[in-house]
Amino acid sequence: MHVLITGANRGIGKAMLDQYRAAGADVTGTQRGIGGLATMDVTDPASVTALATSMADTAIDLLVCNAGVYADKGQLLDDGYPHQMWADGFATNVTGAFLTVQAFLPHLRRAKAGKIAIIASQMGSNTRAPGGSYIYRASKAAALNLGRNLATDLKAEGISVGIYHPGWVRTDMGGAAAEISVEESATGLIARFAALSPANTGCFETWDGQQHPY
């Protein structure tokens, strides 16, 4: 089994990478800068293409689109949320996920039953609108919509797509007061990915297996 995880140098991504490796899976983790993982910046099409080309003969069983940013926490409605922050947020959380899926579709097709997992958030659900965090909420809503439509287009090819809320996790993004650890989130998400199939493709689920309203 070969797993590709974007944004795997820290947080939930690193925890998933560590758990997959401990279980004996073949894992490629990516990060934006130079380090111990494969270099890939999801906001740079050339970077995404370069990694996909270097893995041209690899069959990928599971692609986890985990790379994400939350730069607008604490921004004020009256004078916050600058234009570039919107552009950067969507470039990572939405366009980056799409470009990654697009570039690695040939690799997923080589697998017998390829899977795509998009890490979104319940903050993107239409059922939750407490205000604030406009960029993050809007981008995660778009990521949810992206996953749903990919599920429709790829179902005939046997490629399943799931969208997941990782929980409120104690990371740099989630903060120290969050409810669960990265290890708990990773363990739950990995179980969700294992259960993903053509029967439930297009699902939006929480890390602990609950169906989440769109």
Q: Locate 31 and state its tokens.
A: 């990060």
In a domain, 35, yes or no: yes
How does DSSP assign 79-124, residue by residue? Answer: T---HHHHHHHHIIIIIHHHHHHHHHHHHHHHSTT-EEEEE--GGG
- The position carrying tokens 């689109």 is 65
Per-residue model confidence (pLDDT) at position 179? 78
The values of phi and psi at residue 145, to 5°, are -65, -40
Question: How many structural domains is the chain composed of?
Answer: 1
In a domain, 177, yes or no: yes
In a domain, 213, yes or no: no
Looking up residue 166, the CATH number of its domain turns out to be 3.40.50.720
Output the pTM of the full model. 0.95
In a domain, 57, yes or no: yes
Per-residue model confidence (pLDDT) at position 170? 77
Per-residue model confidence (pLDDT) at position 178? 66
In a domain, 20, yes or no: yes
In a domain, 111, yes or no: yes
Query: Could you list the residue range(s) of the whole structural domain that residue 169 is in?
Result: 2-206
pLDDT by 10s per residue, the chain, length 214: 999 999 999 999 999 999 999 999 999 999 998 889 999 999 999 999 999 999 999 999 999 999 999 999 999 999 999 999 999 999 999 999 999 999 999 999 999 899 999 999 999 999 989 999 999 999 999 999 999 999 999 999 999 999 999 987 877 666 777 678 999 999 999 999 999 999 999 999 999 999 998 9
pLDDT tens profile 46-78: 999 999 999 999 999 999 999 999 999 999 999
Classify 137 as helix, strand or coil: helix
Residue 194 has a CB neighbour count (10 Å cut-off) of 10
Q: How far apart are CA 140 and CA 120, in angstroms?
A: 5
In a domain, 214, yes or no: no
In a domain, 211, yes or no: no
